[in-house]
């Protein structure tokens, strides 16, 4: 039986630009179940990043409720939201945001050390993740010494280092050429399937979207299901 690990209920979010009000989300509802992959496909400027930031507790909605692993995050302090985010949610961005002065291994160790894991255990898990993503031989290299695809695989390893329940990815292959994008997505998909993660991945790439379990878009402020496998 599927377990809901992320729920958005009646989410509203708007921004004011001068005298103009931009309504990004209006009563948006969404459920992400354990072990499933969902593609978020929508044009630029429609609020994909805003939606991911609200889902990942990086940004507050104007109204509505975000529930992570059964816990409502509405009204929680920033410290408690941060604790849930660190424990339950992993992020991958279009730009890898790796720390340039640290090696690939040290970058993957970092969130584990922050969470209080002993260095030896953090190192072992980081090495396992890099091996799984077929980049273990580059563990001692700094980001500047890695290719774009290698950097993004390190970023994926870092995102799941603390074994989160939810992975949110914002155009994780958007900076890569098609062949490298396909390879990185295969690595991401295999990791999600193997670990039972729930993943919501924003992408412009419909070929990648077709490989996921479900596909949604943003329409009139709502999150709606679409069919990219057999035509909308």
In a domain, 21, yes or no: yes
Q: Domain span at residue 211?
A: 4-225
DSSP 143: G
- What's the confidence (pLDDT) of residue 220? 87
Inform me whether the pLDDT recorded for 51 exceeds 80: yes
Is 230 a member of any domain? no
In a domain, 67, yes or no: yes
Confidence of residue 230 (pLDDT cuts 50, 70, 90): low
**CA 215 distance to own-chain centroid:** 15
Average pLDDT on 165-173 reads: 87
CB neighbourhood size of 106 (10 A): 18
pLDDT higher for 224 or 95? 224
Element (H, E) at 70: none
Is pLDDT at 175 greater than 80 in this prediction? no
For 137, half-sphere exposure in the C-beta direction (CA atoms, 13 angstrom radius) is 1
- Predicted confidence band at 171 (pLDDT cuts at 50, 70, 90)? confident
Name the helix (H) or strand (E) containing 102.
none
DSSP 40-61: E---TTSSHHHHHHHHTTSS--
What is the mean predicted confidence (pLDDT) over 74-81?
90
Domain of 214: which CATH number?
A: 3.40.50.300
Closest Cα partner for 200 from 158, 231, 219, 172?
A: 172
Q: Are strands 4-17 and 20-33 parallel, antiparallel or unpaired?
A: antiparallel
Q: Give the least confident one: 1-5, 64-68, 156-160.
A: 1-5
> Which residue in the block uniquely carries the two structure tokens 């069919």?
227
Mean pLDDT of 116-137: 92
Question: What share of residues in the chain are helix, strand, coil (percent, to 5)?
Answer: 35, 30, 35
Distances (CA, A) of 51 to 44, 48, 60, 63: 13, 5, 10, 13
- Looking at the structure of the chain, the number of domains it has is 1
Asked, for residue 231, whether it belongs to a domain, the answer is: no
Residue 232 pLDDT class (50, 70, 90 cuts): very low
More confident residue, 1 or 138: 138
Beta strands 71-72 and 63-68, pairing class: antiparallel
In a domain, 125, yes or no: yes
Q: Is 100 exposed, middle or buried (0-12, 13-18, 19+ CB in 10 A)?
A: exposed
1, pLDDT greater than 70: no
Give pLDDT, residue 229: 66
Residue with tokens 């990219």: 228
Mean pLDDT check: name the lowest of 121-135, 152-166, 193-207: 193-207
Question: 209 in a domain, yes or no?
Answer: yes
Q: Does residue 89 form part of some domain?
A: yes
Length of the chain as a residue count? 232
- The conformational region for residue 169 under phi > 0 = left, psi -120 to 50 = alpha, else beta, is beta
Report yes or no on 35 lying in a domain.
Answer: yes
Give the phi and the psi of residue 217 in degrees, each rounded to 5: -140, 175
């Amino acid at each position: 039986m599927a377990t809901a690990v992320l729920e958005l209920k009646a989410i509203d979010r708007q921004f004011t630009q001068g005298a103009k009000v931009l309504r990004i989300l209006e009563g948006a509802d969404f459920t992400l179940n354990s072990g499933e992959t969902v593609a978020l496909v929508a044009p630029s400027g429609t609020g994909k990043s805003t939606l991911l930031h609200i889902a990942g507790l990086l940004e507050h909605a104007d109204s509505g409720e975000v529930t992570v692993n059964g816990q409502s995050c509405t009204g929680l302090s920033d410290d408690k939201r941060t604790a849930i985010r660190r424990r339950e949610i992993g992020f991958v961005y279009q730009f890898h945001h790796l720390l340039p002065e640290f090696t690939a291994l040290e970058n993957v160790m970092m969130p584990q050390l922050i969470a209080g894991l002993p260095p030896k255990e953090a190192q072992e898990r980081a090495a396992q993740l890099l091996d799984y993503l077929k980049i273990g031989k580059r563990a001692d290299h700094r980001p500047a010494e890695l290719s774009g695809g290698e950097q993004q695989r390190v970023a994926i390893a870092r995102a799941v280092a603390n074994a989160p329940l939810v992975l949110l990815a914002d155009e994780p292959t958007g900076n890569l050429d098609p062949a490298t994008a396909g390879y990185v997505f295969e690595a991401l998909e295999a990791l999600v399937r193997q670990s039972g993660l729930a993943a919501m991945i924003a992408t412009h790439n419909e070929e990648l979207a077709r490989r996921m379990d479900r596909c949604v878009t943003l329409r009139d402020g709502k999150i709606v299901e679409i069919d990219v496998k057999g035509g909308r």
